[in-house]
Amino acid sequence: MRHFNTTGLCVPDQDYMVDISDKIRRITAMVDQGCYFIINRARQFGKTTTLNQLERNLFHQYICASISFEGIGDEPFENPPAFCRFFMELVQEALRFSSAAEDTSYIESWVDGTITDFKRLSSHLDKMCRERKIVIMIDEVDKTSNNRIYIHFLGVLRDKYLARKTGKAFTFHSVILAGVYDIKNLKLKMIHEGIYRPIATEGKLYNSPWNIAADFTMDMAFHASEIATMLNEYEEDHHTGMDIPAIAGEVYRYSRGYPFLVSRICQLIDERYDREWTAEGVRKAVQYLVQQEQNTLSDDLIKNLEASPELYQWIYDVLIVCRVMPYSERDPVVNWAMMFGFVVSRGGKIQIANPIFERWITDYFLSKDARRQDNKEVKGVFKYDVVKEGRFDMELCLRRFAKHYRQIFTRKDAAFLERHGRLVFLSFLTPLINGEGFYYIESETTDALRMDLVISYGTEEFIIELKTWRGEAAHGAGYEQLAEYLHRRGRKEGYLLTFDFRQKSHRNPREAWLQVSREGNGALRIFDVIL
């Protein structure tokens, strides 16, 4: 019986999988063209599974050698003889499972004890690839690349590729590398960690030994229609009666198609939540992911934030301060954030990759902020105040926050609160909803002036827009913005929380329910709170 797998390689006859056949066809077209390329994606983004499916697809047309640098240690990278011997042994072993498996003499001839440097390895590749189309796939290329030996090896492959173009060499038909770091960032990582020092003959610091690589721009995230292909397979086995398009859409809404998150949400519904294939079941799985589960993906995100103060500050500005960050390939911090999977570019605008990442990272920022001396303790507010008979009273919650905020606000705090006020509200909200509810930030609407929160509690959903005061005209426009968002979410009621940092004598704190009419959608109710 197949199952949802989130712990490693997925294979079609054992695991429920999204149909990625169209992606495999497009990658195969690159192989047919003889391209050398790199599949750089964040952790647990399906790289190994994609390579495995690709190898199956290429089996009858090419000789495929699929190897991995994971878990091999540093010894093979100590010197050229060690690396050449290690590399040829890996290829030899991989060929035993390729379409050349019966040609034992060819396989055995791959390992030659006289190959002690890269020049001899280059000549050896000429002989081994002269009459055969060999595709080599190297997974986890960034796991043990801790010195210049690996960089030198890539340079050999580059030189042979260029020589083949002029008819002066034979080499691999196609080379596919897979890992988190691209080659340029891999060298930067090694330099930053102090385990690689460029020599004068290398030229510019950022020169890549892999500048022959074809661009690999394929979107490897799963769209809702692709998620539905996996749910179709599951439904054929279990006959749950689920609304497949609706459930696929809900899974996509929270995961934005991140492969691990897609599989993990489905796995939790199947194994932990008694196959509750409803929108509520998806919500329960997501709530467990963001509030209770600690996994390698969330750990990896936080580890990368801890390791780079520059990346930490940049992500904070994107998520909490809501600075609009344009996408720029020339910005190294943008490249690192995208490489690690923190953010994506949608419409030329940088956004946190998905709502689950938003919660993980926000909770991390909240925990860091809780240790700050200037973080004021929330007093006199208890969960039972705002939860009555299992229902969350959002109006009362905002009134209590307004009272709390007025108690902690002083002019000397203004600069801090103007930058971190949203985090103060989330610090207030989180303990009140944890257990039965959760929130996520709607990054598609977020900018420097607003942040939309979607809060689920029990079977209810609340939408709150957080804003900074920019004058009466801008505040009035905020009603229309929120009304538009409520319309798209099918809601008739919303909440507007505005931080006003004008001098106290000019501030006019107020709260009121407003009726906002929107053409084609009737009257909407908005609870408007100005702090």
138: part of which helix (H) or strand (E)? strand 134-139
Predicted pLDDT at 474 = 87
Q: Is the pLDDT of residue 490 over 80?
A: yes
Q: Under a CB-based contact definition with an 8 Å cutoff, are residues 247 and 277 in contact?
A: yes
* Residue 515 binned pLDDT confidence (cut-offs 50, 70, 90): confident
Per-residue burial over 176-185, b if 16 or more Cβ lie within 10 Å, else e, is: bbbbbbbbbb
Residue (of 472, 500, 318, 496) closest to 414 by Cα position: 500
* Beta carbons within 8 Å of 128's beta carbon, 6+ residues apart: 106, 109, 110, 134
Structure tokens at 76: 């093979």
Predicted pLDDT at 321 = 81
123: part of which helix (H) or strand (E)? helix 118-128
The DSSP annotation for 288-329 comes to: HHHHT---HHHHHHHHHHHH-HHHHHHHHHHHTS----B--T
Instruction: Give dist(CA 35, CA 31) in Å, integer.
Output: 6
Predicted pLDDT at 205 = 41
* Residue 413 binned pLDDT confidence (cut-offs 50, 70, 90): low
* Chain mean pLDDT for the chain: 87
Predicted pLDDT at 352 = 92
| Whole-prediction pTM | 0.89
Instruction: Give dist(CA 376, CA 417) in Å, integer.
Output: 11
Q: What is the DSSP letter of 411?
A: G
Least confident interval from 163-167, 391-395, 497-501: 497-501
Residue type for 348, please? G
β-partners of residue 524 are 516
Phi, psi of 63 (to 5 degrees): -90, 115
Structure tokens at 279: 């929108």
Predicted pLDDT at 71 = 82
82 or 379, greater pLDDT: 82
Predicted pLDDT at 487 = 85
Q: Under a CB-based contact definition with an 8 Å cutoff, are residues 276 and 269 in contact?
A: yes
Q: How many CA atoms lie within 13 A of 255 on its CB side?
A: 28
User: Residue 367 in 3-state DSSP?
Assistant: helix
Q: pLDDT above 90 covers what percent of the chain?
A: 56
Residue at token pair 């709170």? 529
Q: What is the mean pLDDT of residues 499-510?
A: 65
* Residue 437 binned pLDDT confidence (cut-offs 50, 70, 90): confident
Instruction: Give dist(CA 320, CA 365) in Å, integer.
Output: 9
* Residue 206 binned pLDDT confidence (cut-offs 50, 70, 90): very low
Distances (CA, A) of 364 to 305, 317, 376, 395, 510: 10, 14, 18, 27, 32
Predicted pLDDT at 373 = 44
